[in-house]
Amino acid sequence: MVKKKRDKIIDLLKNQTSGQEVLVKGWVRTRRDSKGGFSFIEINDGSCLNSIQVVADHSLASYATASPNLHTGSCVAVAGELVQSQGKGQSMEVRASEIKVYGAADAEKYPLQKKRHSFEFLREIAHLRPRTNTFGAVMRVRNCLAFSIHKFFNDRGFIYLNTPIITTSDCEGAGEMFQVTTLDMKNPPLADGKIDYSQDFFGEKTGLTVSGQLEGETYAMALSDIYTFGPTFRAENSNTSRHLAEFWMVEPEMAFYDLDDDMDLAEEFIRHLLKDVLENCPEDMEFFNKRIEPTLIETLTNIVENQFERITYTEAIHLLEKSTQSFDYSVEWGCNLQAEHERYLCEKVFKKPVILFNYPQEIKSFYMKLNEEGETVRAMDVILPKLGEIIGGSQREDDLDILTRRMKTKGLDPEQYWWYLDLRRYGSAPHSGFGLGFERLVQFTTGMDNIRDVIAFPRTPKHAKF
């Protein structure tokens, strides 16, 4: 081919000047032959939602060789001239001067046909689904959000911290950890009838992290403002549309922040990210608005432009008790709020995102700061319409005695958390943080129903293929 450097389709469609020599490489979405001796080939390279149309004259020398392999799914290179398109729906097209097929795809067998496929079916071909409009758009939006997250924190002087994936500490003490071991499963070493982990790879029992928070706190107690953004694992057997066994979590941790500061940051964060996506991914967002969720852009714009509602857990209970709506789970002070309750407050009562705060201490983790009245802790959850919880956070208990006491009442051994308690022994400071589930954010932003469809290769109970 005469031209050596590849042009991205996104640049060609933006560029409105006819006449330049271009080189397009990508995968054929459709091919149509006209009686007049031309083929119209739609090529997509994932740089944007739109494909570019290639017009190939059947008298081209390279056409005869390429033609038998020019089908949906095949990968091609096309050199030619960029011209104003005659057809409707596209701005520019390529008049081919040379076509080369890199890899053919058997039209009979290629699983992605022109028709719409169900998301369930596409999950079974998770290696090919990136070639559909929806998954291309999801991944571009996901990428935009990831970049925007780093930029948000970087602009505010936060340090990006990478906390360990293999760990000996179970952050919640809830035991939803995947175990990591090199012991022989058929014949593990025993001591006093129990598995002898001193002989395991790390010399003690280890698992995959459920949160980087505890490690994050150690660096906040030195660098002031840090955040993590990494993989997180939970062996919870919840087959819902909002839970994965492997997901990505963003966890900022800030010294000298109280709960109000924490809620301010969480709100600013979400509104900022949504604004960024609306500005930077207009085509993909239009697509989701048209094909996935008809009120999406309106909902996101409203969130960007308006403040969240903030109410205490106790106020929330009052509102739920007063409500005439019937719930599957009844409510009383002290109970865990279910998704149905959170969504009712968010969608029916306030019609906007809600931050609930000051939860009963019994239902929240040991590290959350106890309020003076001794009944509630400075915890907060951010609830979004349709999705439910997207962020869980708190001010952390910075008093050594109270923290130790709360660990014991929750059945945790303070000895095991000696290094975490050291942060309260040496130079303790008020501090706060939160965790945002990255896939839930992508889900909310795209309007996709199922969390399995916003991560490249979802891991859920009984599913770890690819």
Q: Which helix (H) or strand (E) covers residue 317, if one does?
A: helix 313-322
Backbone angles phi, psi at 181, to 5 degrees: -150, 155
Q: Give yes or no for residue 437 binding ligand ATP (CB under 6 A).
A: yes
- CA–CA gap between residue 122 and residue 133 (Å, rounded): 12
Closest distance between ligand ATP and the C-beta of residue 336, in Å?
8
- Give whichever of 67 and 338 is closer to ligand ATP, judged by the CB atom: 338
- Give whichever of 77 and 254 is closer to ligand ATP, judged by the CB atom: 254
Closest distance between ligand ATP and the C-beta of residue 391, in Å?
5
- CA–CA gap between residue 416 and residue 43 (Å, rounded): 58
- Give whichever of 77 and 220 is closer to ligand ATP, judged by the CB atom: 220
Given the DSSP bridges, would you call strands 354-360 and 309-312 parallel, antiparallel or unpaired? parallel
Q: Which helix (H) or strand (E) covers residue 223, if one does?
A: helix 213-223
Closest distance between ligand ATP and the C-beta of residue 442, in Å?
10
- CA–CA gap between residue 76 and residue 277 (Å, rounded): 31
Token couple for 93:
């097209």
Closest distance between ligand ATP and the C-beta of residue 65, in Å?
49
325-354 residues near ligand ATP, rule: CB under 6 A: none
Applying CB under 6 A, the site for ligand ATP has a residue count of 15
b/e burial code for range 201-213 (CB count within 10 A of at least 16 → b): eeeeebbbbbbbb
- Give whichever of 153 and 287 is closer to ligand ATP, judged by the CB atom: 153
- Give whichever of 369 and 440 is closer to ligand ATP, judged by the CB atom: 440
- Give whichever of 96 and 277 is closer to ligand ATP, judged by the CB atom: 277
Closest residue by Cα to residue 247 from 170, 357, 142: 142
Q: Which residues contact 142 (CB under 8 A, 6 or more apart)?
A: 442, 454
The DSSP 8-state label assigned to residue 180 in this structure reads E
- Cβ contact 446:292 at 8 Å: yes
- Give me the sign of the Cα torsion angle 155, 285, 230, 379: positive
- Give whichever of 246 and 286 is closer to ligand ATP, judged by the CB atom: 246
Closest distance between ligand ATP and the C-beta of residue 242, in Å?
6
Residue choice 71, 123, 131, 243 for contact with ligand ATP (CB under 6 A) = 243
Closest distance between ligand ATP and the C-beta of residue 42, in Å?
35
Residue choice 249, 254, 266, 407 for contact with ligand ATP (CB under 6 A) = 249
Residue 423's CB is within 10 A of a number of other CB atoms, namely 22
Closest distance between ligand ATP and the C-beta of residue 261, in Å?
18
Q: Which helix (H) or strand (E) covers residue 264, if one does?
A: helix 259-280
19-58 residues near ligand ATP, rule: CB under 6 A: none
Given the DSSP bridges, would you call strands 206-208 and 179-180 parallel, antiparallel or unpaired? antiparallel
Closest distance between ligand ATP and the C-beta of residue 43, in Å?
35
- Only one of the segments 107-115, 155-163, 291-299, 437-445 lies at the binding site for ligand ATP (rule: CB under 6 A); that segment is 437-445
- Give whichever of 73 and 207 is closer to ligand ATP, judged by the CB atom: 207
Residue choice 385, 433, 435, 447 for contact with ligand ATP (CB under 6 A) = 435
- CA–CA gap between residue 353 and residue 341 (Å, rounded): 13
- Only one of the segments 113-121, 155-163, 324-332, 436-444 lies at the binding site for ligand ATP (rule: CB under 6 A); that segment is 436-444
- Only one of the segments 101-109, 155-163, 268-276, 429-437 lies at the binding site for ligand ATP (rule: CB under 6 A); that segment is 429-437
Residue choice 200, 262, 267, 439 for contact with ligand ATP (CB under 6 A) = 439
Residue choice 31, 140, 343, 440 for contact with ligand ATP (CB under 6 A) = 440
Closest distance between ligand ATP and the C-beta of residue 329, in Å?
13
SS3 165: coil
Long-range contacts of residues 295-303, Cβ cutoff 8 Å, at least 24 apart: 296/446, 296/447, 299/385, 300/274, 300/445, 302/352, 303/270, 303/271, 303/274, 303/352, 303/353, 303/384
372-401 residues near ligand ATP, rule: CB under 6 A: 389-392
- Give whichever of 79 and 250 is closer to ligand ATP, judged by the CB atom: 250
Burial of residue 361, with CB atoms counted within 10 A of its CB: 0-12 exposed, 13-18 middle, 19 or more buried: buried
Q: Give yes or no for residue 458 binding ligand ATP (CB under 6 A).
A: no
- Give whichever of 236 and 449 is closer to ligand ATP, judged by the CB atom: 236
- CA–CA gap between residue 403 and residue 17 (Å, rounded): 67
Q: Give yes or no for residue 234 binding ligand ATP (CB under 6 A).
A: yes
Enumerate binding residues for ligand ATP (CB under 6 A).
234, 236, 243-244, 247, 249, 389-392, 435-437, 439-440
